[in-house]
Amino acid sequence: MNYVFDVIFIVILFAIFGYTHSLLASLKIKIWFRKTFGDFIAFYRLFYNLVGLLSVYLIYELSPKPHIIIYDLPNPFDLIILIPQLLSLAGVFWAFQYICFKEFLGLDQIKRFFEKRYTTELDEEFTLRIEGPYRYSRHPVYFFSITFLLFRPIMDLFYLTFFICIVAYFYIGSYYEEKKLVRQFGEIYENYKKEVPTIFPAKLFKPYNQKVIAEV
């Protein structure tokens, strides 16, 4: 019975993280930060990412660790399962080729701030590039992250709960993220949503056939 409470506590911690992380990503908070601190909004993206990493670390440290083994793959399967993990890691790097990684981290914003050419209204410049893996999934970074975390030689109850919470957060987070993208790119993104799955590339043999590069 203690394991049930352990799982519930982990889910509650993740729910708190998901709410605060989404709140910090909201347009309302960014507008308030911009009005209050002006061009120091340039540091917001990096701050947001660091808070996210710290929050995940705290969740891991504060969570109970129900150690019920669900499976433990014997040799050589424990080594074979590393192959899809490595492919997933390569997929993450592939997906990041089509976004500005330094903009994603928040480093380009800070560079523009110190060069006194920060003109972005909020915390980042947006470029929509529908190429590569984005023709199969609207959020390929999430997809490859999920598959990387899924293929694991040993699975216990704690890790499974952690994994399910992360997948749920990806889906919930993508919903709010896309509301912002629809506001910014309008009909272009609406058409894209109709043709391409959210995360899992269900239409693998029917990729989006229109190359799109749009900026705001």
Q: Per residue in 108-148, pLDDT tens?
A: 889 888 888 776 666 667 778 889 999 999 999 999 999 99
Q: Which span out of 34-38, 93-97, 173-177 was modeled with the highest average pLDDT?
A: 93-97
For residue 122, the model assigns a pLDDT of: 67
Query: What's the mean per-residue pLDDT of the chain?
Result: 89
Check pLDDT > 90 for residue 215.
no
Choice among 15-19, 102-106, 208-212 with the minimum mean pLDDT: 208-212
Quote the Cα angle for 156-162-165, to 5°: 140
Domain span at 26: 2-215
List the beta bridge partners of residue 214. 128
Check pLDDT > 80 for residue 203.
yes
Residue percentage of the chain with pLDDT more than 70: 94
pTM of the model: 0.89
- What is the distance in angstroms between the CA of the first residue and the CA of the last residue of the chain? 52
**Long-range pairs, 17-21, Cβ under 8 A, ≥24:** 17/55, 17/56, 17/59, 17/169, 18/168, 18/169, 18/172, 18/173, 20/55, 21/51, 21/52, 21/55, 21/169, 21/173
pLDDT tens by residue, 144-163: 999 999 999 999 999 999 99
- 109 contacts 45 by C-beta, under 8 angstroms: yes
CATH label of the domain that carries residue 15: 1.20.120
Number of domains present in the structure of the chain: 1
- 13 contacts 169 by C-beta, under 8 angstroms: no
Question: What's the mean pLDDT in 81-89?
Answer: 95
Return the exposure string of 55-76: e unless at least 16 CB atoms fall within 10 Å of the residue's CB, then b: beeebeeebbebeeeeeeeeee
The C-alpha atoms of residue 176 and residue 48 are separated, in whole angstroms, by: 16
